[in-house]
């Protein structure tokens, strides 16, 4: 009846004008039970088919903690109790409908759901999120409103201290919010909150994962996973390789990488890559690249745009280094990840 | 008469040998008024046609604050007053002549002028700056002399603390000094102080901007802007793309990117790109690359070096994926930035 | 008799289960004198032909300090004395045999030996090290066990503080352990502990150096040096260029770069490059790339795989921009580094 799509209790950051600019949810919940949904909807009087965020005052928190314990939601109860006892602003964000996010806490909840692996990329409605999020300085003191920053930087210097501005962006880095199980990220600045990293994923220094993008399972990522792109299990993206996004400069085709693929270093794709395919190092194949399709014996079958070959599995894309032509030829052996490297215990 | 080229009050950092190694200027001034110039030149007795840096003692500061208020320079007065009241070393750097920088505070002033958007790249004399700046460890405790670092690292560990060395370089990152209005920088470690970012510029994780380089206005930068390179309005540098610099490995030709250009992911240029041009993803065109110039119907007009085609606007550079030849062909449609993505409110 | 391969005194970090997860050695020693070896082996009763790590209690430390002073090892004595007086866990790691590392302190000692320039890449036995090292969160509070991280992140937020997780990896960045003499590293997150940077090496923002890899002397590195790869003196790796590693996605051939080489921006190699060679910007040459070998007058000598040409010095590898063929042609002029840029005073 009252089933929520998702919700979370969290701590918020405000700017000097008392506006909420950021939210941290230690335990975002996706599809909570009907009993839990009911408790929350009733407590906060959430209107039907709507989404809202509430500040949780101590009385409400005490009531909820008690009810959560009754429901057996002990971890939530403990966290809410701790938050309520702190001096930080406590919020509850309730989402009934997966509509375009209308507020910062709602947008942050969806980004958390992705990075906590509750949903896969492309499964949430994130339309218009850029317009909702606020561009902030992410620093060693936490997120700071850009209007507040110069005075704080000056004040710090007056005391011989230094504010380290790591990012000026609408998105923070994921690892300051959650590190999902079984991953490595060599340079955490390269993975935004809202990335989905499957268990067994390693992101090397040159790897990058945007929000609403990522891997489904084990993967070695030394290249860039653009917004919206999903990489399936046991694939390897070589150093500096590119997957074309749809946000900027790319086309409208949604890009994905299948299972057991290898995109070579400094290579790139502008079309969805089927299972077991290899793109040779240094070769960029866009959706419109004309490709010579060869049979297993190396004879020309036909010439086609890469996008038209996107359903073919176990193919090697290469540029013939004598003729200069881009070719696509069936693979004889298949790709496997290095077990030792990819264990993330 | 006494007109200064530029000046600033700032806070300095000294190493353990009491040498000045860095300077922070909250409000660098370019072409100050004659009255302001006069006040400063007179107060510090700056010789004609010369540049110098002074430590500002409390008496001088008090005198200047009073005079600045008289001139209506209230923000400068307030800042100087605050600096003088602190325990940090206060300096004034006065530049009459845009000559090669002779000292660290002078070099830092010029880097500040660029990042505060008072001047465009290539407009200041920075000759010999590498020899003037000191290679430092930039840490959570601020800049540290490399000779002082090991003892400080050891001392921190003895207390169970950790000094985070972010950079070992002559240049700090820009955002710890100034974040100009209307920009985003996803990984601030990739933009040096001395970069010039026009309003509406987004630097993504894979973007990079060296000192004395940057953008004039709105731009989406996911590639590398080398020292000396300027990108004009509404252009898009794709992920991992390269602009050849003149400092190292490149030629002597100064590279620029015109308005409304798109350099594809993993592509690169070694010649100045005219307005409205596109370089296909993955294609590197150096100044000497021989290019087949095609007319609008695809017929070969002539073969020329890329540098000889640098004045042509609205052209697409691509490598023919069947013949392997690099081609240049007039574009039919033009490029536009994604509005939602590029708003930096 | 008792000669040690290497040893070090250090400070260790433990997780909440009192397990050692990391070690910092201010002064790792390679091939210590026989007297010093003898003192250590005897004091700790190290079995012959074995490696072991010991916690150093105050009594043992006092004894060792006194004996070290007798041997004239005053710096070691002073450091050990300071460590023993601190509240941090003090360890001694003794290595007799360069066998596969069996413990975290032993693995960290070998990584230190590389970054302190006591040995070159490929000179130590690092077999199985991935399985020995623990995946950790490297933060502003130092290394944190991933099992401990969520509670600590939550606790920090409750106090309005923020733990900055820079890396989730088995390897920390080098600069938090040692900054060897005469180097610059523009983004220190890109160089792992275990990298070997020769004096005069500059690593720009897009540069990267893995453990057990690096440079022998002066070098300008704006590209990626994969695990196991060594770059000889006076070579220049252009922005975003790639050297193929053997750990993941690459072949079995060990890659190296000779003296006075230039790998252009966004280019790459999958074979060992001989002295004085240039790879044109944007060109990826794998071991199996078929290359047209030209003589000095531009006539075709033969067609061969790149690996078969790996012994040829002073060659230019390029892709003919008209025919699309990859060519290899003798160079007329040779490469030199920009002196001003590469001085790292």
Which residue does chain C place closest to B151, by CA atoms? C26
Residue A276 touches partner C, C-beta closer than 8 Å: no
Angle between helices B58-70 and B34-44 (to 10 degrees): 160
Look at residue B103 and give its three-state secondary structure: coil
In angstroms, the CA C95 to CA C92 distance is: 10
Roughly what angle, to the nearest 10 degrees, separates helices B74-85 and B58-70? 160
d(CA C224, CA A205): 10
CB count within 10 Å of CB A19 equals 12
Using N-to-C axis directions, what is the helix angle for C58-70 and C34-44, rounded to 10°? 160
Residues of chain C with C-beta less than 8 angstroms from the C-beta of B189? 186-187, 189, 205
Look at residue A249 in the predicted model and tell me its pLDDT: 47
The reported pLDDT for the residue numbered B234 is: 97
Burial class (CB in 10 A: 0-12, 13-18, 19+), A249: buried
CA distance C342 to C222: 13
No. of helices (H) and no. of strands (E), chain B: 7, 27
Cβ partners under 8 Å of residue B8, min gap 6? B25, B27, B28, B29, B92, B93, B109, B112
Mean pLDDT of B166-195: 98
- Which pLDDT score, from 0 to 100, does residue A1 have? 55
B325/chain C closest Cα distance in angstroms: 4
Residue C245: pLDDT band with limits 50, 70, 90: confident
Distance CA A328, CA B4 (A): 65
Taking residues B240-260, what's their average pLDDT? 79
CA angle B152, C103, A199 (to 5 degrees): 95
Model confidence at B217: pLDDT above 80: yes
Q: What is the pLDDT of residue B254?
A: 78
Residue B48 has pLDDT above 70, yes or no: yes
What confidence score (pLDDT) does residue A341 get? 58
Mean pLDDT lowest among A333-342, C25-34, C240-249? A333-342
Q: Which three-class secondary structure string do you get for chain C?
A: CCCCCEEEEEEEEECCCCCEEEEECCCCEECCCHHHHHHHHHHHCCCCCCEEEEECCHHHHHHHHHHHHHCCCHHHHHHHHHHHHCCCCEEEEEECCCCCCCCHHHHHHHHHHHHCCCCCCCCCCCCCHHHHCCCEEEECCEEEECCCHHHHHHHHHHCCCCCCEEEEECCCEHHHCCCCCCEEECCHHHEECCEECCCCEEECCCCEECCCEEECCCEEECCEECCCCEECCCEEECCCCEECCCCCCCCCCCCEECCCCEECCCCEECCCECCCCEECCCCEECCCCEEEEECCCCCEEEEEEHHHHCCCCCEEEEECCCCCCEEEEECCCCCCCCHHHHCCC
pLDDT for residue A181 is more than 60: yes
Find tokens 């601020």 and name the residue: B142
Percent of chain C with pLDDT over 70: 93
| Of A158, A244, A290, Cβ closest to residue B83 | A158
Kindly report which listed range (B125-134, B336-345, C138-147, C181-190) carries the lowest average pLDDT score.
B336-345
pLDDT tens figures, B267-279: 999 999 999 999 9
Residue C345 has pLDDT above 90, yes or no: no
Q: Do B131 and C343 touch (CB under 8 A)?
A: yes
Q: Are C265 and C239 in contact (CB under 8 A)?
A: yes
Please judge whether B266 and C240 are an interchain contact, meaning their C-beta atoms are less than 8 angstroms apart: yes
The average pLDDT across A100-124 equals: 98
Q: What is the pLDDT of residue A335?
A: 58
% residues pLDDT > 90 (chain C): 92
- Distance of alpha carbon B333 from alpha carbon B315, whole angstroms: 10
| Token pair in block for residue B38 | 């006069």
pLDDT at C52 over 50: yes
The answer on pLDDT for C337 being more than 90 is no
What mean pLDDT is predicted for residues B306-330?
97
**Rounded average pLDDT over B252-272:** 93
What's the rounded Cα separation, in Å, for the pair C143 and C129?
Answer: 18
CA distance B285 to B301: 19
Q: Could A265 and C283 be called an inter-chain contact, meaning their C-beta atoms sit closer than 8 Å?
A: no
CB contact at 8 A, A113 and A28? yes
Over residues C223-229, mean pLDDT: 96
Q: Least CB-CB distance to C186: which of B163, B169, B292? A: B169
Tell me which residues of chain C, numbers 46 to 65, contact chain B at a CB-CB cutoff of 8 Å: none
Residue B245 is predicted with a pLDDT of: 79
Tens of pLDDT, residue by residue over A224-262, are 999 999 999 999 999 999 999 765 444 566 799 999 999
Q: How many CA atoms lie within 13 A of A246 on its CB side?
A: 14
Which residue in chain C has the smallest CA separation from A263? C249
Q: What digits encode the pLDDT tens for the residues B279-294?
A: 999 999 999 999 999 9
* Residue A337: per-residue pLDDT: 65
d(CA A270, CA A293) in angstroms, rounded, equals 17
Chain A nearest CA to B309, separation (Å): 23
- Report phi then psi at A156, rounded to 5: -65, -45
Residues of A in contact with C192 (CB under 8 A): 186
Would you call B222 a catalytic residue per the annotation?
A: yes
The closest CB to that of B324, out of A164, A289, A323, belongs to: A323
Distance (Å) of CA B118 to CA A213, B5, B114, B182, C251: 39, 11, 6, 15, 51
Which of B22, B206, B222, B327 is an active site residue?
A: B222
CB C265 within 8 A of CB C282: yes
- Report the alpha-carbon angle C261-C265-C268, nearest 5: 70
Q: pTM of the prediction?
A: 0.96
For B293, name the nearest residue in chain C, comparing CA atoms only. C322
Residue B250: pLDDT over 50: no
Q: Is A169 on the interface with B (CB under 8 A)?
A: yes
pLDDT number for residue B309:
96
Least confident of B145-159, B187-201, C10-24, C320-334: C320-334
Query: If you average pLDDT over residues B299-323, what whole number do you get?
Result: 97
From CA A249, how far away is CA B239, in angstroms rounded?
10
Q: What is the mean pLDDT of residues A19-42?
A: 98
pLDDT at B345: 55
Asked if pLDDT for residue C250 goes beyond 60, the answer is no
Nearest to A166 among B85, B188, B323 (CB): B188
- Asked if residue C249 has pLDDT above 50, the reply is no
What is the rounded average pLDDT of the residues A119-131? 96
Measured in residues, chain B has a length of 345
Instruction: Report the gap between the CA of C42 and the closest CA in chain B (Å).
Output: 27
Scanning B178-237 for CB atoms below 8 A from C yields 189-190, 192, 208, 224, 226
Which chain A positions have a beta carbon within 8 Å of B222's beta carbon?
Answer: 248-249
Q: Which residues on C lie below 8 Å from B240 (Cβ)?
A: 240, 266
Chain A residue closest to C154 (CA)?
A26
Q: Which of A173, A172, A174, A170 is nearest to A131 (CA)?
A: A170
Contacting partners of chain A (3+ CB pairs under 8 A): B, C
Which residues from A are below 8 Å from B325, CB to CB?
324
Confidence of residue B35 (pLDDT cuts 50, 70, 90): very high
State residue C26's pLDDT score. Answer: 98
Q: What's the pLDDT at C332?
A: 81
> What gap in Å lies between CA C25 and CA C5, rounded to an integer?
16
- Which residues in chain A touch residue C208, judged by CB atoms under 8 angstroms apart? 205-206
Q: How many CB pairs under 8 A join B and C?
A: 152
Does residue C118 sit at the A interface (CB-CB below 8 Å)?
A: no
Pair A29, A3: CB distance under 8 Å: no
Instruction: Name all domains of chain C by residue range, CATH numbers in brackets.
Output: 6-131 (3.30.70.2010), 138-169 (3.30.60.70), 174-342 (2.160.10.10)
Of the candidates C333, C328, C331, the one whose C-alpha atom is nearest the C-alpha of residue C300 is: C328
Which chain A residues touch B318 with a CB distance below 8 Å?
Answer: none
> What integer pLDDT is reported at residue A338 of this predicted model?
63
- For B89-137, write each residue's pLDDT tens digit: 999 999 999 999 999 999 999 999 999 999 999 999 999 999 999 999 9
A317 Cβ under 8 Å from any chain B Cβ: no
Q: Is C37 on the interface with A (CB under 8 A)?
A: no
């Amino acid at each position: 009846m009252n089933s929520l799509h998702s919700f979370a209790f969290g701590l918020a950051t405000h700017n000097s004008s008392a506006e909420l600019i950021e939210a941290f949810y230690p335990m975002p919940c996706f599809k909570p039970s009907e009993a839990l949904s009911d408790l929350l909807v009733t407590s906060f009087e959430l209107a039907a088919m709507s989404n809202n965020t509430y500040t949780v005052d101590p009385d409400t928190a005490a009531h909820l903690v008690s009810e959560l314990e009754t429901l057996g939601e002990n971890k939530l109860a403990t966290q809410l109790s701790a938050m309520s006892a702190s001096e930080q602003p406590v919020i509850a964000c309730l989402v009934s409908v997966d509509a375009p996010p209308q507020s910062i806490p709602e947008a942050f909840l969806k980004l958390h759901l992705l990075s906590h692996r509750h949903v896969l990329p492309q499964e949430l409605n994130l339309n218009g999120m850029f317009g909702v999020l606020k561009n902030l300085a992410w620093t060693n003191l936490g997120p700071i409103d850009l209007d507040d920053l110069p005075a704080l930087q000056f004040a710090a210097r007056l005391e011989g201290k230094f504010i380290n501005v790591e990012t000026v962006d609408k998105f923070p880095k994921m690892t300051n919010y959650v590190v999902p199980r079984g991953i490595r990220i060599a340079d955490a600045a390269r993975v935004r909150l809202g990335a989905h990293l499957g268990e067994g994923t390693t992101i090397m220094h040159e790897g990058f994962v945007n929000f609403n993008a990522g891997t489904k399972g084990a993967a070695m990522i030394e290249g860039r996973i653009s917004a919206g792109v999903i990489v399936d299990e046991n694939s390897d993206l070589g150093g500096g390789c590119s997957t074309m996004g749809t946000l900027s400069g790319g086309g409208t085709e949604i890009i994905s990488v299948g299972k057991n693929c290898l995109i070579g270093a400094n290579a790139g794709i502008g079309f969805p890559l089927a299972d077991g395919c290899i793109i040779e190092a240094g070769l960029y194949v866009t959706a419109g690249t004309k490709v010579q399709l060869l049979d297993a014996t190396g004879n020309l079958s036909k010439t086609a745009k890469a996008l038209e070959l996107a359903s073919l599995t176990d193919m090697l894309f290469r540029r013939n280094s004598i003729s200069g032509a881009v070719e696509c030829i069936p693979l004889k052996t298949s790709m496997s990840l290095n077990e030792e490297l990819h264990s993330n215990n």
